[in-house]
Every structure is written in structure tokens, then in C-alpha cells.
Amino acid sequence: MLESLLANAVILVGLALLLWVLAVQINDVSFVDAYWGGGMALMALVSWLRLFDPGPLATLLMAMTVIWGLRLCLHLLMRWRREGEDKRYARILRKDREKGRFAMAALTKVFLGQSILLFIVSSPAQYGILEASSLTPVSGLALVGVALWALGIFFEWVGDWQLARFKANPANAGQVMDRGLWRYTRHPNYFGDACVWWGIWIAAASAGWWVAAATVIGPLFLTFTLTRWSGAPLLEGGMKKSRPGYADYQARTSAFFPRLPKKSAG
């Protein structure tokens, strides 16, 4: 187990270094968001490929992670190609650019930092796959995890699709997206992300209680970062400045868990 996890870490760091070189060449790190989903899919896939005879649970965990990760990777890569540099990363690296330290800051603040967090968050998939034997069945607990994963996939995929359609309409420039799933939560894609990884954690827990205990830090940290750190707080800070109606939207709409909107800001 430890040898396999170390090998995964080496692969991840190698990939991060290659992407960092590219980022320095183009003076933009924004595509690192695509690395987040793609890297998790890679960790699950290489873990699964190490098994001599992968069983049904290991294959299920690999499929859940790869389906989620590849879709997110492609979605964010296309968004970056379409919209250019992400304002969040521009703010994070602004002072380093001004002082000529962009390359080192991109490596330490973005790519290596993302790699560590990526490895931690994807730990349920890696541990679960490596611990599951060829005879480990897909239990009722695993199916509960699949159901939560499917709910997350729905919120994330549909939320991203609705937002992309909204942005594609020039008439919506400068407006607040408050339709579809965005009427019930300000971040349906983030809520979906959390559901996906709690679902993978629950499914992985059926491989053994110690897997659940050792990897609960993954979905816990992801939920924290989406709701309290670099996810919603960072995004909403910019939205309040650029969208005049965003404060009213915040007042009537749930920050994370979907619920019916309030009838008025009061």
C-alpha cells in the first residue's frame, strides 16, 4: 500500500512539474483547475492498474473517480481556453509578477500546493482501490455512496451547463445567474463536488473501516475549502464587486445546501 501511494505521489509531482514549465512559458497558471480533476482521475486509474486482479469494488471506485475527474478536467480546460486567465490567480500572483518572482510563486503557491491537496482529497479513491481485493463485493454501503455520488454529478454537471448557457447570452452580461439550480444554491457545482467525494468516501469505506478512518480528511478538507477557503469566499468576493445585484442574491439564496429561496432580502 505505502509503496503504491508513494509511486502515485511521484507521478503526480512529475506531472505538476511539467505543467509548471508550461505555465511559466505562457505566463498563466489558470489551467491548473483542469489539473485538479484530471489529476484525481489519474490517481484512481494508476491505483487500479496496479491491481493484478481488480475486483468489482475497486473497479467501481475507479470508474466513479475517472468519470467525475475527466468531465471536470475537460470542462475547466475549455473554460480557460474560452475566457483566458482566471482573475483569482491573477490576484494571488500579482505581487510576485511585479517583483519578478512569478516562476517560483507559480511552483510553490499553485502547482505544488495543488498537488498536495489533490493527493489528500483523492485519498478515499486511492486507498479504497488499493485495499479492495478481487473478491470485495459492491455492498449496500457502496451503493449508498454511488447514490450520493450520482446526486453530486447531477448538481455539478447541470449547474455548469446552466451557467455556461447563461454566460453565452450577451444579454446576461453583468447580470447574476439565479435560474435553474442556481435559484436554490449559490454554488450547485460546489455542492455537487462535495457530494461526489463524500459518496466516493462512503463507497471506499466498504473496503474496510480503516479506509474510512484514514481518508475522511479528504472529503472534510474539500468541503472546508469549497465553503470556507478558496472556493465560495474567493469567488463571491469578486462577484460582489462586479455584479450590482449579487448582495440581494446572497440574501435570498442558500450559500451551499439547496433550499427554496427566501421571498425577499429582508
Mapped to the 3 state alphabet, what secondary structure does 21-66 carry? HHHHHHCCCCCHHHHHHHHHHHHHHHHHHCCCCCCHHHHHHHHHHH
Query: Does 243 fall in a domain?
Result: yes
Q: What is the pTM of this model?
A: 0.92
pLDDT of 133 over the 80 cut: no
pLDDT of 260 over the 80 cut: yes
Q: What cell does 120 get?
A: 489528500
Query: Does 133 fall in a domain?
Result: yes
- Name the residue range of residue 205's domain: 2-252
**Which are the contacts of 247, defined by CB distance < 8 A and separation ≥ 6?**
240, 265
- For 112-136, what is the mean pLDDT? 92
Domains of the chain: total? 1
Query: Does 100 fall in a domain?
Result: yes
- pLDDT averaged over the chain? 92
- For 61-68, what is the mean pLDDT? 98
Q: Residue 135 — pLDDT band, cuts 50, 70, 90? A: confident
Closest CA to 91 of 139, 29, 147, 31: 29
Report the C-alpha gap between 82 and 218 in whole angstroms.
Answer: 31
Q: What cell does 84 get?
A: 483566458
Closest CA to 12 of 110, 108, 112: 112
Cβ proximity of 207 and 128 under 8 Å: yes
Q: How far is CA 114 from its chain centroid?
A: 11
User: What confidence score (pLDDT) does residue 265 get?
Assistant: 47
Q: Which amino acid is at 245?
A: G
Report the C-alpha gap between 37 and 189 in whole angstroms.
Answer: 13
Query: Does 259 fall in a domain?
Result: no
Q: Residue 266 — pLDDT band, cuts 50, 70, 90? A: very low
Query: Does 33 fall in a domain?
Result: yes
User: What confidence score (pLDDT) does residue 103 get?
Assistant: 95
Q: Considering only 1-15, 21-35, 70-84, 224-238, which range has the smallest mean pLDDT?
A: 224-238
pLDDT in tens, 39-52: 999 999 999 999 98
10 Å CB burial of residue 132 (0-12, 13-18, 19+) is buried
pLDDT of 211 over the 70 cut: yes
pLDDT in tens, 223-250: 999 988 776 776 777 676 677 788 888 8
- For 80-94, what is the mean pLDDT? 88
Report the C-alpha gap between 102 and 178 in whole angstroms.
Answer: 37
pLDDT of 165 over the 90 cut: yes
Query: Does 193 fall in a domain?
Result: yes
Report the C-alpha gap between 176 and 33 in whole angstroms.
Answer: 23
pLDDT of 209 over the 60 cut: yes
User: What confidence score (pLDDT) does residue 238 get?
Assistant: 67
Report the C-alpha gap between 4 and 240 in whole angstroms.
Answer: 45
User: What confidence score (pLDDT) does residue 240 get?
Assistant: 67
231 vs 190, higher pLDDT: 190
Report the C-alpha gap between 47 and 51 in whole angstroms.
Answer: 7
Query: Does 134 fall in a domain?
Result: yes
Report the C-alpha gap between 13 and 178 in whole angstroms.
Answer: 39
pLDDT of 257 over the 90 cut: yes
CB atoms within 10 A of CB 26: 10
Query: Does 263 fall in a domain?
Result: no
